[in-house]
Amino acid sequence: MSFLRDEPLDLSRLVVSVSAPERGAVACFVGTVRDHHEGKSVIRLEYSAYRPMAEVECDRIVAEARSRWDADVALEHRTGVLEIGEASVAIAAAAPHRGAAFAACRYVIEEVKRRVPIWKREHYADGTIGWVEPSQARRPPVGQAAGDASLGPVDSTSQDDWAV
């Protein structure tokens, strides 16, 4: 199975894939392409990836979420050109109870943003194009060398951060 997709994502398919008679709670997340970024009007977006590593990293994240919350988890990320409103990422997490489903789902989107080697390039209404840098919150703290970021899994002591 591939986590990276060149075709439109289908949340319903993910929900079906994780649902089961013993798991009565499904939490989902869909990220869609916004029409603006830092004051500029965006008309379309292009996602590229270091595909083999992105697949491996997605697989690790999903496995971590499954084992931590006894959930079943499905994840897909778009690559290629996306129009405004199209889904860039879709996640479904099913568990016997909703707390675990929400926590697993939230964990996966945070870790995808933090660890999966994917980049995006925005096409603006004024004809310019720009690589999107992660927001301030995701840059290394001030005083640390730029780019000296870590993408290892969160250590187990921070698991509570994901409780929802």
Residue 116 three-state SS: coil
For residue 102, the partner it binds in other proteins, a second copy, none, with Cβ less than 5 to 8 A by kind, is a second copy
User: Could you say whether residue 12 binds a second copy (CB under 8 A)?
Assistant: yes
User: Could you say whether residue 4 binds a second copy (CB under 8 A)?
Assistant: no
Query: Within positions 107 to 126, which residues make up the interface with a second copy, using CB under 8 A?
Result: 109
| Per-residue contact flags (x/-) with other proteins for residues 4 to 23, judged by CB under 8 A | --------------------
Residue 8 three-state SS: coil
What is the C-alpha to C-alpha distance for residues 112 and 64, in angstroms, rounded to an integer?
A: 12
Sheet strands (E) in the chain: 4-5, 25-32, 36-37, 40-49, 72-78, 80-83, 87-95, 118-124, 129-131
What is the C-alpha to C-alpha distance for residues 17 and 160, in angstroms, rounded to an integer?
A: 27
Select the residue interacting with a second copy from 19, 68, 114, 153 (CB under 8 A).
Answer: 19
Which residues sit at the interface with other proteins, rule CB under 8 A?
A: 31, 47-50, 52-54, 56, 77, 88-89, 109, 112-121, 131-134, 138-139, 145-152
